[in-house]
Amino acid sequence: MNKIKKKIEKLHEENNLEWYYKYHILVVEKIADDLNKEFGGDTKIIKLSALLHDIGKVFNKEPHNIEGAKIAEDFLEKEGIQKEVIKHVSECVKSHNCFDIIPKTIEAKIISTADALSHFNSPLFFAEFLFENKEKDFGKLIEIYQKTIEKDYKKKIQFDKIKKKYFPEYKLFKKMFLIES
Ligand SMILES: [Fe+2]
Ligand SMILES: [Fe+2]
């Protein structure tokens, strides 16, 4: 696993995304690991999915969930990972943003939730968002970010218990980003 993790880190570095790896991917990995302890899923599937969930972004492929799942499948096949594990990881990558595919397995629910929570843990994510979207008009950016907060909380968090726990953060972010109730 450590060898695979190093390779994924290197892929980010080669594409000038070491900052994304450090401040987003590793954050999601840690949150997913904590959720796994609470809700119980397959550790290997969760770790690989957390590390690979945004791999489509690394290669600038859109939609990054669908294209990323293909890249993850190829990568894991070359690493000799079992077919069954690859299938599960691919599902997690496809459904991590709840865009067109809804998470069904416990592992996929954990990844989607961890990705959402990474946004609520720190204002750093907004800085990342600004950095990633430098070319956009500021007003438009705030609008998109407001939608992201709503989607993260209402759609991507898959466990009621976690929703309740993060309600104060959600309220704070709504206040900070002037979201009307
Ligand atoms: Fe993503
Ligand atoms: Fe992500």
Would the CA dihedral through 165, 114, 99, 81 be positive or negative?
Answer: negative
Instruction: Identify whether 13 is part of a domain.
Output: yes
The confidence band for 181, taking pLDDT boundaries of 50, 70 and 90, is confident
Residue 179 alpha carbon to ligand 2 centre in Å: 22
Instruction: Identify whether 135 is part of a domain.
Output: yes
Residue 146 alpha carbon to ligand 2 centre in Å: 17
Instruction: Identify whether 15 is part of a domain.
Output: yes
The pair of structure tokens assigned to 17 is: 């995304």
What range defines the domain where residue 34 resides? 2-176
Residue 23 alpha carbon to ligand 2 centre in Å: 10
The pair of structure tokens assigned to 156 is: 């991507």
For the chain, report the end-to-end CA distance as a whole number of angstroms.
Answer: 44
- Residue 62: CATH number of its domain: 1.10.3210.10
Q: Which ligand is nearest to the CA of 66?
A: 1
Phi-psi region of 60 (alpha: psi -120 to 50; beta: other; left: phi over 0): left
Instruction: Identify whether 181 is part of a domain.
Output: no
Instruction: Identify whether 44 is part of a domain.
Output: yes
- Count of Cβ atoms closer than 10 Å to residue 144 Cβ: 12
Domain count, the chain: 1
Amino acid at 105: T
**Tens digits of per-residue pLDDT, 75-92?**
999 999 999 999 999 999
CA angle 77, 47, 10 (to 5 degrees): 65
pTM of the shown model: 0.96
**Tens digits of per-residue pLDDT, 31-41?**
999 999 999 99
Per the CB < 8 A criterion, the answer to whether 52 and 68 are in contact is yes
Residue 110 alpha carbon to ligand 1 centre in Å: 14
Average pLDDT in the 137-144 region?
93
CA–CA distance from 7 to each of 11, 51, 79, 81, 149 (Å)? 6, 10, 10, 14, 31
Q: Which residues contact 84 (CB under 8 A, 6 or more apart)?
A: none
**Tens digits of per-residue pLDDT, 94-126?**
999 999 999 999 999 999 999 999 999 888 888
Residue 54 alpha carbon to ligand 1 centre in Å: 5
The confidence band for 175, taking pLDDT boundaries of 50, 70 and 90, is very high
The pair of structure tokens assigned to 42 is: 């397959």
**Structure-token match 């790896």, residue found:** 21
Instruction: Identify whether 137 is part of a domain.
Output: yes
What does pLDDT average to over the chain? Answer: 96
The confidence band for 1, taking pLDDT boundaries of 50, 70 and 90, is confident
Residue 101 alpha carbon to ligand 1 centre in Å: 13
Average pLDDT in the 136-163 region?
96
